[in-house]
């Protein structure tokens, strides 16, 4: 199982008028998790782009469990979900750093597009090699 853990510090600019994190920011946090995962496991957007592909989101979801407030420190776990399809799926868990309670969970899916924006229906060779390198075949 490949998991990246990223510490998030909640800033004042993340809050809505009720003093809690605005719901749209959770998706930004998930993006931060995908980028950190890519850096740690060498499958970032730059690597994918250099192979001739884009990775657009086709699905994203979030379940809010507890409100996040200013100055909260969180741990975002981004877990790669292995599958046979030509897409990348991540599951996310956002935890309070202080008591390890779950504040949100989510999931995203991305597909491979050629740079001309045509869908790539099979697993690209570079992605198959990456999966083999990490024992995911």
d(CA 57, CA 80): 15
pLDDT of residue 20: 95
DSSP 8-state symbol, 85: S
Q: What is the pLDDT along the chain (137 residues), one digit of tens a residue?
A: 999 999 999 999 999 999 999 999 999 999 999 999 999 999 999 999 999 999 999 999 999 999 999 999 999 999 999 999 999 999 999 999 999 999 999 999 999 999 999 999 999 999 999 999 999 97
pLDDT of residue 30: 98
Which domain does 63 fall in, by range? 3-133
Question: What CATH number is associated with residue 88?
Answer: 3.10.129.10
Q: Where are the alpha helices (DSSP H) in 1-137?
A: 24-41, 45-50, 125-133
pLDDT of residue 58: 97
- Domain total of the chain: 1
pLDDT of residue 137: 74
């Amino acid at each position: 199982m490949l998991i990246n853990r990223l510490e998030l510090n909640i800033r004042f600019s993340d809050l809505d008028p009720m003093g809690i994190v605005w719901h749209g920011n959770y998706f930004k946090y998930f993006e931060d998790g995908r980028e950190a995962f890519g850096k740690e496991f060498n499958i970032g957007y730059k690597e994918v782009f250099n192979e001739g592909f884009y990775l657009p989101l086709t699905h994203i979801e979030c379940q809010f469990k507890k409100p996040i407030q200013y100055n909260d420190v969180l741990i975002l776990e981004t877990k790669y979900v292995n599958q046979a399809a030509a897409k990348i799926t991540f599951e996310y868990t956002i935890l309070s750093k202080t008591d390890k309670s779950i504040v949100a969970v989510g999931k995203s899916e991305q597909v491979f597009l050629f740079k001309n924006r045509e869908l790539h229906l099979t697993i690209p060779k570079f992605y198959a090699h990456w999966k083999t390198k990490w024992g995911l075949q």
